[in-house]
Structure 1
Amino acid sequence: MRFTYAETMVDPTYYVPLARAAEEAGYTSMVVADSVAYPKDSDAKYPYTPDGSREFLENKPFVEAFVVTAAMAAVTTTLRFTPFVLKLPIRPPVLVAKQAASIAAMSGNRLGLGVGISPWPDDFDMMGVPFEHRGARMDECIDIVRGLTGGGYFEFHGKFYDIAPLKINPVPTAPIPILIGGHSEPALRRAAQRGDGWMHAGGDPAELDRLLDRLTVLRAEYGTREDFEVHVISLDGFTVDGVKRLADRGVTDVIVGFRYPYTTEVDTEPLDTKIANLSRFAEKVIAKIGN
């Protein structure tokens, strides 16, 4: 079992020391949140809060995902970084491929590319991308990013993108794992069919069991690779016995955080407290489980 540290919407100066502390404590990876901008007026809902509210995002610091990943990768040597999740179809896929390949190449293959479809039309509007057919656009983006980051000339001719043969340089020496986020049926199917893994966003434990069961069925249907990654957020992840239960369900990576992020209040927890929390968990759970 691998362990991932989650922290977001904090003082931007905290990320570098937190990454160093997580690596030293024995975490395998750290997730990076993605948000481009917050619209002043919107009636869109957030799917992972009980009431659909997304006001907790307003006035919160979000360093651009690839920028903060590069900063943390530069001061670590083993820690892996995974956007959780990058809103892929609102971005130009060739640019995403260039950014991801550059970070992976410079960090020694320490990037896992978590991607998803934003649930908000606002994100598409602000980036000048149609909200319609976003799922099909997402599929093309995945194919383009995977093709370009693999090295050599690559061309693509789809419904949304038409790319003449081109290549980017540098590229990593190993494929970048593309991990699909989302709880919907299309997201699970996309993960099993196109992804190297799936990322769970938290919620009811009973719902997690249902999602894992469905993912198992879809993986069998598509003949998904055996080293498929399954990243989950679960209360079971905070005890040794709970982690063992998750491992029995095929979970490969447990994501843990030590505060509730969906609050409108600005985070005032000191850096020392955050480091103490992640270190305490490492002593009580990671050290007893091993990677």
Structure 2
Amino acid sequence: MKILSFFNNKGGVGKTTSLYHVGFKLEQMGYKVLFVDCDPQCNLTSHILEFDVIENAWSEEGKSIYDALKPIIKGAGDVKYIEPLKIEKRKIWIYPGDLLLSNYDSALSESWTQVLARQERGFRSTTAIYRLFTKFAEDKEIDYVLVDLGPNLGSLNRAMLLSCDNFFIPLIPDLFSLRGSQNLGATLVNWIEEWQDSIERIKVDFEFKLPQGNPEFSGYITSQFNEFRKRPVKAWQRWESEIPQYIRDYVYSPLAKKDLPLDIEKVEEELKIGQVKNYNSLIPLAQTALKPIFELTSKDGIIGDHHRYVKECSASYDELVNKIISKV
């Protein structure tokens, strides 16, 4: 089992869309996939589930992540085990997100203080979602757990990134996306060091499993660029050319823990794992059909050149997913 996330401090960079398509492509390749929606905006959940299913999951006897966390949020116990929802006729499961998950984010701020003080309650709260999905994943022999995160450096994302084995950074080639990457490496290093220092100093064994808290940065993906005559337009090319230096200086170097950073000319070669273009009108069609773009058919409204774009999308994600598999 590998636990992966796509993360960026900047929103609107194709994070959820990329994670969603990677998960469905992995399943096409024969792997078992578990999605965990930890973004209170619930975009991943709305891409996968019908609205009536989501409404039921949010009911009093619901099956969202928030329902599993209620005992911890209320200070009345540990995480409540619930099974994720299975996608019909597919080897895909999802723990649905919930807008109320922001309440857990608030509770985790206090929990981190307890972690630093090496108190069991802090570790129990911080690892609640991790313990929830790893129990199911181990029981069902899940191959890949894909965790969707919101665009921020809050307490919930800290807990989830420390639970991951690998993470990837989606980027749009623009000023704001690059600016949002500048504090990623330094912040992650601080979280990792504080977590590992705390678990090394624990004097008693807890009855529950702790993640190692050492997520590996495994590459970046550029997305949502436009093409003219099969080449990215100039406005995108300018910012695209600056990405390798940003990635090296603000993400790779702080996390690498090496004396010498990766040579700038090798960053793109070794750390850029994919480039996904903007499929424009195909995205709403995919959302309506609750399918990835590369599975859309004429019945979903695909006409004319759209068929070519569907094939291009499939080939693009074949290449991207194969690189991800090789990285992790």
Could you state the TM-score of these two structures normalised by the residue count of structure 1?
Answer: 0.41
Structure 1 or 2: larger helix share?
2
**Of the two, which has the highest radius of gyration?**
2
